[in-house]
Amino acid sequence: MTTKKKRTPHSQNDRWVVVAADSAVETPKKDDSDPTFIRLRNPSTGNAASLYLLGSGDVQLYEVKAFKEDFHSWFIGQTVQRDGRLLYVTPMDPLYLLLPYLIKAGEEGKFQPVDQVVMDEDFPACTRLLSCTRSQTSLHHVAEEKEVGSQKFQRYSQERTMEWLKKKVHRTVKTLRKSNISVGEGVKSTTYVRVKQESETQEEDYLRYAHGLISEYISEDLSKALLKHLQLPELSSPKEVEPPSKKRKLTDKPLEAGEDYTKFNSSDFSRKPPKKMSAAQKTLAKVDKTGMKSMSAFFSPKGKAEKK
Amino acid sequence: MDLGEFEADNSVSCRLASAIPDVCKTEDCCLGIDEAGRGPVLGPMVYGICFCPVAKKEALKDLKVADSKTLTEAQREDLFRKLDEAKSFVGWALQILSPNTISTSMLQRSKYNLNALSHDAAIGLVQFALDSGVQLKEVFVDTVGPAEKYQEKLSQRFPGVEVTVRPKADSLFPIVSAASICAKVARDHSVKDWNFPEDLGEVDADYGSGYPNDPKTKAWLLKELDPVFGYPQFVRFSWSTTQTLLDSKAVTVHWDDDEEDGEKAAARQNNTSMLSYFKTGSKTSAQQGNTHQTHRFFTERRLQSLATL
């Protein structure tokens, strides 16, 4: 009765269900450009591109996240939409996206005008980030600035960046507390009332959680540096240590137990001569075994067998 | 027969009953149970009970009630009228299980099969009679599934009542025949003028008997299929007839309790094969390729970044 159901690949959509801030979809004032989706280098993954949205006139940056779970579809008006995703367009600090470019330029140690720094062959749209209102005014959070004449020059500063990120973490902690988000290791039920109040030690949980969230927007190196700056010890997950191989080495010598305690208990310990082989065993031993695999070869991991 | 109460909302299960004759509250009574519309793909399944004082069994025979299947529709109508007129000593009650109830029961997450549904409808009706003050002593039932098991189930459920479960009970005991007539008449009425709650415009009313092997029913099912929604609630979705048609003609719909082939489902859910735990080396290399792990704030909320729209 049950037939196999085939999953056809998702066809191209020209419609999405989006939750967005009013400011993101505002109609442009004249001369301004429409809000546009752009692909930019994701600061945490480095090379992969993610989708962002620039509000009209490139004034505000938004990140695009999708709620996606299996087995969802939409009924929209009189139609069905197969794509059951719910997109969120939420405001984002453009500094996160500018930071990788500043860091890269900072390696030279020179003061440079920012529009010379923010350039990307793969993602030419990144220059548009500089038109965001927040970009120019907040560069001092992550860079030292010099003003020569009417022109500004910047140089990446790790200390400033750390302070800036630390502030971000603390603000995130505040928000996490306010929104009652469970940050502990264990799973908590909202309906379960605890007799004991949550203890103070939770502060570290909040800090770690917030650090993890901020790390979604910065490179791995920065994330590690930030962890140090927050004076949080790095959690060393117990590394999987391979248990010692239990395989016995094949030798021609007679086998002896690695630890034989009987040896020391009996005074008249004497090694027995190797057992005599039966007639059948003798004939078997005489068989030409060249080119034959040993029995154990069939049980060793495949990779090893192929190497031979 | 007034089916108004069911027709007001034919998506649910509905109980209709006659007034309880006064004699039934004082004298020992016998009760028959039978059902109509178990097999069809269209319309409701109706459970009927009929009860009368044990002493009046002969009077019931005089009404010449017989197995509803041997009677024409007109004869059944006639007999039901007579039964209804004999309200001084005969009472009846019906449980109409709408096709929608059948579909949703059988197709829900924890499956509730037709036999269980039938048994529970029968038990509900007997309980109803007891609650109404009918002095039940004997219950006769046409069987659903193995007779002994069913009899044991009912006997345990109703201690103090002698339960007899027999195949073909509707031709053996007049009180079961009477119940079968009530059930059949109710089913015929509800199917004849099915009130489609869906906004379908003009629906072709020529759907035949509703049994899966009826060519008229088959043709109707082919014609009325909607690629997205399938069928109106009149159709039992849990019937294999319906499912075959939906599988071949309608848009595929995936539910999260669909049974998929083990390996495929595992791959989709990103489960690791059991074998990978026994391998050395290769497991970690796959994970090392992608060091970035999305923070649990996002994974717990099923939020992900998008590369493209």
- The string of pLDDT tens digits covering residues B101-127 is 999 999 988 889 898 899 999 999 999
Is A131 in the B-facing interface, judged by CB distances under 8 Å? no
Closest chain B residue to A221, measured at CA: B292
B295 closest CB neighbour out of A87, A88, A215: A215
- pLDDT given for residue A4 in this prediction: 37
Give the pLDDT confidence score for residue A8 in this predicted structure.
44
Beta carbons of A39 and B294 less than 8 Å apart: no
Burial of A25 (0-12, 13-18, 19+ CB in 10 A): middle
What residues are paired with A79 via a beta bridge?
A76
- Asked if A111 contacts A146 with a C-beta cutoff of 8 angstroms, the reply is yes
Other Cβ atoms less than 10 A from the Cβ of A98: the count is 26
Contact B305 A50 (CB under 8 A): yes
Q: Is A17 on the interface with B (CB under 8 A)?
A: no
- Pairs across A and B, CB distance < 8 A: 80
3-class secondary structure per residue, B18-76? CCCCHHHHHCCEEEEEEEECCCCCECCEEEEEEEEEHHHHHHHHHCCCCCHHHCCHHHH
Task: Please check whether residue B31 is in contact with residue B24, taking contact to mean a CB–CB distance below 8 angstroms.
Answer: no
Q: Is A20 on the interface with B (CB under 8 A)?
A: no
Whether chain B has a CB inside 8 Å of the CB on A134: the answer is: no
Contact residues on chain A for B301, CB-CB shorter than 8 A: 67
Q: What is the pLDDT along chain A (308 residues), one digit of tens a residue?
A: 333 334 444 445 578 899 998 888 877 777 778 889 999 999 988 778 899 999 888 889 999 999 999 899 999 998 999 889 999 999 999 999 999 999 999 888 889 998 889 988 889 889 999 988 888 888 999 999 888 888 889 999 999 999 999 999 999 999 999 988 888 765 555 555 555 555 555 788 899 999 999 999 999 899 999 999 988 877 665 544 555 555 555 666 666 666 656 555 555 545 555 566 677 777 777 777 777 777 777 776 655 444 44
Nearest CA in chain B to A38: B308
Is A69 within 8 Å of B280 when comparing Cβ atoms?
A: no
The reported pLDDT for the residue numbered B8 is 78
Question: What is the number of other CB atoms lying within 10 angstroms of the CB of residue A117?
Answer: 20
Question: Beta strand pairing status for B29-36 and B45-53?
Answer: antiparallel
Residue B229's pLDDT is: 92
pLDDT on residue A32:
76
- Identify the three-state secondary structure at position A232: coil
Q: CA B233 from chain center: how many Å?
A: 13
Q: Which chain B residues touch A if contact means CB-CB below 8 Å?
A: 228, 240, 243-244, 247, 252, 254-256, 258-261, 268, 279-282, 284, 291-292, 294-298, 301-309
Which residues does chain B have with pLDDT short of 70? 1, 67-68, 259-292
- Tell me if B309 and A37 make a contact (CB, 8 A cut-off): yes
Closest A-chain CA to B250 = A5
The answer to whether A181 contacts B297, with C-beta atoms less than 8 Å apart, is yes
A7 and chain B in contact, CB less than 8 A: yes
Which 3 state secondary structure label does DSSP give A227? Answer: helix
Residues of B within the annotated binding site for a divalent metal cation?
34-35, 142
Across the interface, do B292 and A44 touch by the CB < 8 Å criterion?
yes
Structural contact between residues B166 and B53, judged by C-beta atoms closer than 8 angstroms: no
User: If you measure CA to CA, which chain B residue comes closest to A211?
Assistant: B295
Residues 6+ apart with CB under 8 A from A269: A262, A263
Put simply, the answer to whether A5 touches B254 (Cβ < 8 Å) is yes
Across the interface, of A50, A70, A212, the residue whose CB is closest to B307 is: A50
For residue B282, the model assigns a pLDDT of 42
pTM: 0.71
